């Protein structure tokens, strides 16, 4: 299975010009130290720290208030675009390549300003908004046509950076179809897409999951960094039941399958952002592993208290920004979890 998978990637990579050399040679200016054993990519390190800082702050706000101000993503987006422009200028990128930042900025910042086209009542025609997006689309078409007929490191780097507008559009699709349920989740995904447009390598040996340069390039094209961070975040949620099981075992509460989905608290100390797994319906006690998202918690607590409960099972409302932050770090340091598991179990 793995050999077939790698063969497909090898074929996909062969149709890309100069696949193994898709980035301009900017490394001489990006290393913080000249020591070969301690080489660190300065731009990648800055992106890593910047992403962790903004995502970490947003996660804390989301955990406490379930609200993340748009200013967080706006500032993160501005820093990301400025950083990329500095990198492009320093690397001697063409003006056409630098022009890619314009449609990218239009698609990104368009989310935060103006009236929404998709509302709870359905689609609403916004002529000015559509016109601005049309300009962005025409610019992208022009740039794609231009670089399709050129070659070299600048051209190859452009195709990597083209993942930015593609991931921004994909974020809209994910949000509309409910794959990214919260607006903050979608905006975080978009911010990551422009902060890290090309898969980074902070230093030697990172990320841990990697392939030969040619095949790795094909993987990077199919799985841009933002998408890998999202997949890693989703995969981390798979291990959440194990965390609950260990936590409940330490508390002596491993009683039934509910120990995989939540934990017990005093009925007078039920946290704000949880769902009740214990309920009383029609006078009968029920234990629901996946409770409804909307409930009258005060009424349910009163019913449980009447039934004599002093402790109840709850499952936390975990904002997806939290695993997304860990997914961002994991994508930088470990790489593509799914690819790693495929290679591990496909041997």
- Give pLDDT tens digits for 268-313: 999 988 999 999 988 899 998 878 666 778 899 999 999 899 999 9
Residue 81: closest CA among 161, 186, 167, 12: 161
Q: What is the pLDDT of residues 183-234, one digit of tens each?
A: 899 999 999 999 999 888 777 777 887 766 777 677 777 889 999 999 999 9
Angle at 72 between CA 67 and CA 74, to 5 degrees: 125
The pTM of this model reads 0.80
41, β-bridge pairs: 31
Residue 259 pLDDT grade (very low, low, confident, very high; cuts 50, 70, 90): very high
Place of tokens 């797994």: 277
Residues contacting 259, CB < 8 A, separation 6+: 244, 245, 248, 249, 253
Residue 113 pLDDT grade (very low, low, confident, very high; cuts 50, 70, 90): confident
- Cα 67 to its chain centre, rounded Å, is 18
Residue 170: closest CA among 115, 223, 112, 211: 223
* Residue 98 burial (10 A CB sphere; 0-12, 13-18, 19+): middle
- Cα 166 to its chain centre, rounded Å, is 14
Residues contacting 57, CB < 8 A, separation 6+: 72
Greater confidence (109 vs 298) lies with: 109
Distance CA 186, CA 168 (A): 9
Share of the chain above pLDDT 70, in %: 81
Q: In degrees rounded to 5, what are phi and psi of residue 202?
A: -65, -40
Q: What is the DSSP letter of 311?
A: E
Sketch the domain layout of the chain as residue ranges.
Answer: 2-237+321-345, 239-316
* pLDDT score of 121: 66
**Over the Cα atoms of the chain, what is R_g?**
24
């Amino acid at each position: 299975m793995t050999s077939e998978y790698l063969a497909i990637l090898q074929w996909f990579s062969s149709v890309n010009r100069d696949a193994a050399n898709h980035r301009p040679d900017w490394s001489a200016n990006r290393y913080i130290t000249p020591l070969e054993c301690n080489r660190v990519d300065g731009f990648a390190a800055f992106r890593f720290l910047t992403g962790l800082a903004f995502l970490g702050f947003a996660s804390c706000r989301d955990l406490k208030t379930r609200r993340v101000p748009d200013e967080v993503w706006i500032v993160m987006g501005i820093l990301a675009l400025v950083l990329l422009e500095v990198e492009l200028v320093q690397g001697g990128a063409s003006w056409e390549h630098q022009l890619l930042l314009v449609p990218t900025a239009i698609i990104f910042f368009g989310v935060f300003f103006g009236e929404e086209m998709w509302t709870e009542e359905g689609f609403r025609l916004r002529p000015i908004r559509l016109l601005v997006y049309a300009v962005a689309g025409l610019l992208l078409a022009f740039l794609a046509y231009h670089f399709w007929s050129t070659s070299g490191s600048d051209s190859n780097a452009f195709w990597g950076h083209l993942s930015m507008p593609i991931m921004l559009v994909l974020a809209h699709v994910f949000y509309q179809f409910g794959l990214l349920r919260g607006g903050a989740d979608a905006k975080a995904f978009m911010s990551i897409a422009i902060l890290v447009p090309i898969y980074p390598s902070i230093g030697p040996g990172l990320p841990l999951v990697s392939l030969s340069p040619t095949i790795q390039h094909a993987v990077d094209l199919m799985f841009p960094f933002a998408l890998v961070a999202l997949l890693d975040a989703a995969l981390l949620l798979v291990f959440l039941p194990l965390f609950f099981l260990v936590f409940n075992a330490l508390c002596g509460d491993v009683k039934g399958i509910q120990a995989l989905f939540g934990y017990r608290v005093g009925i007078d100390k039920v946290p704000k952002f949880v769902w009740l797994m214990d309920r009383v319906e029609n006078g009968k006690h029920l234990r629901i592993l996946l409770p409804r998202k909307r409930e009258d918690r005060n009424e349910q607590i009163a019913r449980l208290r009447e039934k004599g409960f002093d402790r109840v099972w709850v499952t936390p409302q975990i904002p997806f920004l939290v695993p997304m932050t860990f997914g961002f770090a994991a994508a930088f340091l470990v790489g593509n979890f799914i690819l790693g598991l495929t290679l591990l179990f496909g041997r």
